[in-house]
A and B are shown apart, each in its own frame.
Chain A
């Protein structure tokens, strides 16, 4: 009954979305002199999105859902709050999540009111470890990979080292460019199977140290750690490739109306009964998201047990048909 109602709603919303097309004849030209006050399109607005992020509901927090407030960056999905130094703020928001699971969460720079002489920037980013290009099982390995593939313009100033910040373990990696005289200090941890990183960039290492000291005021979830962050507690446990093999009891493949070739990374939360509770499309066209939603609503999973009791589990599935380099086989995947 509930399904039928949902279908009716979907049909209704589809009809409404098609209404504007049905109004009159689309025009490239014509005599519009009888409407000199025609509506202007807003400037500086992205009205036509390609593959973009979306979710099956608006209540469940998403990784990209963090906000820079007056004095802090807070992100309910990652359960972190990062206090910003006075006169540092976000000038421009970042791009949407990428189809390889990369998030620009915030880009912090000195505000116009900043009175210091040195300048710098703070990039807060995340990489979904289910979809990374790099063969890394955790944030520590990802940062080590980062060091290994630095190009010739950079020199390592401090190899990846475990440090404690805000009472949590982070991996810290410093490098710099002698020709540019710029330094990058990277502090990364892992939360819900994502590497979450803070990248400080400046010519002034003293400024960077003071900003890094300020990280001590940050609040983080208990799980945070360069290897340990795999959910649990108040949030679902995250497990790579859970939606495979014998864990999947019922599976229906999505039927795509249009052939496209983009990767479609999807994170799902499976409830204690083995049904899909929440779907997050990191990058998908609306028609792809709809087809995948229709299919996933019919999937059934073996409930995940911890200490003999079923718990919610979060995992990733890559849909889509784009050619993509292989990542780690699931046998090497991070698991409980």
Chain B
């Protein structure tokens, strides 16, 4: 009884003296309930085989890879890697998504994927923090000083196969993460969610160019550009800096860089940046699977399946099937009522556009080209909330990594569909708070300063809350 009275008095005092606290806008947080993503596109079905391909790709996306002698034949891991499966890091809120709440990279020694006698868990990999890849913006000189005249920016894999029972005598050291951290020469990237990416892949360049022109002359200080594929010059669109052209390239690169598995697109085992300029990988760390290169290939002899489509789906390489799985994943389904209710969400959507956020985070690109894969990918709107351009984001977000045409402060407008169920935000997962993510757009050199200041200085607390509700409804 006394406790109840005390609580009432406290509540009264808080309400009387700190009324703002109760009214302040806040991030509604990650939306619970069923995953709003992870299903195949509506047109994916079993009668034309697309469903079997989706399911086969989904299964392979979850396979755990070994260095050699895997009973399931998933060989080729390493010699350096960030994790042992795609889905380990692409899991939130469903397979294909982004990093989960419990970080699987923190468990790699406990789970036997990495030898604890030869590897340590880097300090920036924590039990409940974001899954990450690490990069050093600059090479070190021989004294351990980062050299600003020698840009690096390549992925520094977190773990080595050294000490694993299936890795033979391969002995490799982890990169100097502690030195990189001590000298500010360390940046991170978190996994991009892949839902709806088949639609992004199927947007014609002319649609993007028209959208760019339509958004020019905006009185908001915004003027982006595109990253281009170095081979054919068309607009590239995947990855945090829009550095990758297609889903297959994206899959092939990730298989090679994140898991160390060579494939039909990236055919050699990958040394670390720096190693590749000199000795490369030691011979004791090459062809560890014993099966030759590339480790992931087209399966000339089908592995399994009794019906025609299941058999067909087993033939392509893992890389092709990863890409197909991602391509056939439906975009996230937004909620019209949570959080905050339908009125707040609808209002937030309009405010998001009015203050200038939608100038880069284009709500809908309309529309995709006709698709030769499946009908849902053709002539469809892309509600990604992205213009797929790269924009200068200023000093707070700059990572000093250049990729293709993107400089150290330029990033692709992050697609916001599915934001409601993402845990870690921004390219490096530095925050879980949507307000902090918005605030990070405001900085020296950022194109988003005007839009951010409209949010910060012009909107009422209630209007800000509507925008936050809207964003978490996606």
By a beta-carbon cutoff of 8 Å, the part of chain A in contact with chain B is 17, 20-21, 23-30, 32, 34-35, 38-52, 92-96, 98-100, 102, 104, 107, 109-110, 119-121, 123, 125, 127, 132-134, 142, 145-146, 149, 151, 153-154, 177, 179-180, 182, 184, 186, 197, 199, 201-203, 259-263, 283, 321-325
B396 touching A94, Cβ below 8 Å: no
Q: Quick one: CB contact mask for B271-284 with A, threshold 8 Å, 1 for yes? A: 01111011000000
Contact A104–B230 (Cβ < 8 Å): no
Q: A34 to B274, alpha carbons, bound, how many Å? A: 21
**0 or 1 for each of B403-431: is its CB under 8 Å from A? (1 = yes):** 00111111000000000000000000000
B355 close to A182 (CB less than 8 A): yes
Q: Cα distance A149–B219 when bound, in Å?
A: 12
Query: CA A154 – CA B356 in complex, angstroms?
Result: 11
Q: Return 9 A-B CB contacts under 8 Å, by A number.
A: A26-B152, A92-B444, A95-B221, A96-B445, A133-B216, A134-B217, A186-B219, A201-B458, A261-B229
CB-nearest residue of chain A to B174: A29
Residues of A within 8 A of B444 (CB): 44, 92-93
Q: Which of B354-405 contact A (CB under 8 A)?
A: 354-355, 391-392, 394-396, 398, 400-402, 405
- Chain B 123-151 interface residues, beta-carbon cutoff 8 Å to A: 136-151
Q: How many angstroms from the CA of A110 to the CA of B137 in the assembled complex? A: 36
Provide the residues of chain A in CB contact with B147, threshold 8 Å.
Answer: 20, 23, 26
Cβ contacts under 8 Å, A29 to chain B: 173-176, 272, 274
CB < 8 Å neighbour of B407 from A34, A52, A260: A52
Q: B450 near A32 (CB under 8 angstroms)? A: no
Q: Please, what's the 1-or-0 string for B183-195, where 1 marks a CB less than 8 Å from any CB in chain A?
A: 1110000000000
The one of B395, B401, B406, B457 that contacts A44, using a Cβ cutoff of 8 Å = B395
What residues of B have a CB within 8 angstroms of the CB of A184 in the complex?
219
- The reply to whether A51 and B407 form a contact with Cβ atoms under 8 Å apart is yes
- Say whether, besides A38-B182, A44-B395, A30 and B140 are in contact (CB < 8 Å): yes
Of A43, A100, A109, which contacts B223 at CB under 8 A?
A: A100
Candidates A43, A47, A123, A321; contact of B233 at CB < 8 Å: A321
B458 touches A180 (CB 8 A): yes
List A contacts of B138 (CB < 8 A).
41, 47
Determine the distance from Cα of A177 to Cα of B153 in the docked complex, in whole angstroms: 42
- In contact, A107 and B449 (Cβ under 8 angstroms): yes
The residue that A107 contacts in the complex, of B137, B212, B221, with Cβ under 8 A, is B221
Q: How far is the CA of A142 from the CA of B136 in the complex (A)?
A: 44
Residues of B near any A CB (own CB < 8 A): 136-153, 156, 173-176, 179, 182-185, 205, 209-210, 212-214, 216-217, 219-221, 223-226, 228-230, 233-235, 272-275, 277-278, 347, 350-351, 353-355, 391-392, 394-396, 398, 400-402, 405-410, 442-447, 449-450, 453-454, 457-459, 463
Whether A20 lies near B149 (C-beta < 8 A) is yes
Minimum CB–CB distance for B171 against chain A, Å = 13
B408 touches A47 (CB 8 A): yes
CA distance A28 to B272 in the complex (A): 7
Return the chain B residue nearest A260 by Cβ: B405
* Contacts A45-B395, A95-B447, A179-B354 given; does A21 touch B150 at CB 8 Å: yes
Cβ A27 vs Cβ B140 within 8 A: yes
Q: Is the CB of B145 within 8 A of A202?
A: no
- Besides A41-B138, A45-B395, 5 new A-B residue pairs in contact (Cβ under 8 A), listed by A number: A38-B146, A48-B407, A121-B454, A134-B213, A149-B217
B221 touches A125 (CB 8 A): yes
Smallest beta-carbon distance A132→chain B, Å: 7
With contacts A28-B139, A201-B450, A261-B405 known, is A41 near B183, CB below 8 A?
Answer: yes
- Given contacts A29-B173, A323-B233, whether A107 and B394 have CB atoms under 8 Å apart is no
The answer to whether B217 touches A203, judged by C-beta atoms less than 8 angstroms apart, is no
**Across the interface, do A179 and B219 meet the contact criterion of CB distance under 8 Å?**
no
Q: How far is the CA of A326 from the CA of B191 in the complex (A)?
A: 37
* Interface pairs A-B: 3 shortest CB-CB: A50-B407, A32-B144, A48-B408
CB pair A153 B220 closer than 8 Å: no
Q: Are B209 and A109 in contact (CB under 8 A)?
A: no
Given the contacts A48-B153, A50-B410, A92-B449, A27 and B182 also touching, CB distance less than 8 Å: no
Cross-chain contact B219 with A262 (CB below 8 angstroms): no
Check A50 against B146 for contact (C-beta < 8 Å).
Answer: no
Report the bound CA distance from A186 to B221 in whole Å: 13
Q: Which residues of chain B are near A149, meaning CB under 8 Å?
A: 214, 217
- Beyond A26-B147, A26-B274, A48-B137, is A261–B400 a contact (Cβ under 8 Å)? no
Q: Point out the residues of chain B lying under 8 angstroms from A125, CB to CB.
A: 219, 221
Task: Report yes or no: B184 in contact with A26, Cβ–Cβ below 8 A.
Answer: no
Q: How far is the CA of A25 from the CA of B142 in the complex (A)?
A: 6
* Separation of A153 and B391 alpha carbons in the complex (Å): 23
Contacts of A199 in B (CB 8 A): 219
- Are the C-beta atoms of A95 and B446 separated by less than 8 Å? yes
Nearest B residue to A327 by beta-carbon distance? B213
* Chain B residues, CB < 8 A from A27: 139-142, 144, 176, 274
Closest chain B residue, CB of each to CB of A262: B405
CB within 8 A of B396: which of A26, A35, A44, A146? A44
Bound-state Cα–Cα, A110 to B449, Å: 14
Q: Given A153-B354, A262-B405, does the pair A40, B447 have CB atoms closer than 8 Å?
A: no
**A179 engages B350 (CB within 8 Å):** yes
